[in-house]
Amino acid sequence: MRRYAHKVVAIYPDTAAAEAALMALGDARLGDTEVVQLMPGATNIDRAIQPEPDTSRDTMKRETVTGGAAGTATGALIAGVTEVLAPALFVSAPVVGPLIVLGYGALIGGIAGAVRGLRLREDVLKGLVRNALKAGYPVVIIHAASDEAQRKAKAVVGNTLAEQTAVI
């Protein structure tokens, strides 16, 4: 199963409405998509929302390394500017002072990258889907590979919902 860049999630009032949405999605020819229907009592929520959990670990590693590199570069720039504008700050520790600034930059950038890579939106989405299923509502999740497929899926889902509701 591949990882899709976009998701569209719809919560329906009953099974008949969810089945009608699945039919409409099948007729719409959305392109590279994967449609998942979850009925109340479903236990495979994590896999339905995030098909490849191992990829999020790789994303977090990549974001942490990128953030650390950006933080180190920013720390180097700040150390260089400080050395030129206020050389007295590094007189007492000419080698250690710039290294401390670089270290703080790498630390802050690494933490920022790790937080960015956590994908907190998917955790919030899992909670929303879990609550809807507990309340007895069927859920349809569309994984789309492109912006165009996501836009089409949102349009189809919007037409199948009886009430005006949020489409995520």
- Based on the fold, state whether residues 60 and 40 are members of the same structural domain: no
- Based on the fold, state whether residues 45 and 61 are members of the same structural domain: no
Q: Where does the pLDDT of residue 156 fall: very low under 50, low under 70, confident under 90, or very high at 90 and above? A: confident
- Based on the fold, state whether residues 76 and 113 are members of the same structural domain: yes
Q: Structurally, how many domains does the chain consist of?
A: 2
Burial of 65 (0-12, 13-18, 19+ CB in 10 A): middle
Q: Where does the pLDDT of residue 36 fall: very low under 50, low under 70, confident under 90, or very high at 90 and above? A: confident
Q: Is residue 1 part of a domain?
A: no
Full domain range(s) for residue 29 = 6-50+132-160
Q: Is residue 61 part of a domain?
A: yes
- Based on the fold, state whether residues 88 and 142 are members of the same structural domain: no
Amino acid at 117: G
Q: Is residue 68 part of a domain?
A: yes
- Based on the fold, state whether residues 103 and 145 are members of the same structural domain: no
Q: Is residue 33 part of a domain?
A: yes
- Based on the fold, state whether residues 45 and 64 are members of the same structural domain: no
Q: Is residue 124 part of a domain?
A: no
pLDDT tens figures, 117-153:
665 566 777 888 888 888 999 999 888 888 888 888 8
pLDDT tens figures, 73-103:
887 777 777 777 777 766 767 777 777 777 7
Instruction: At 28, list the tokens.
Output: 């719409």
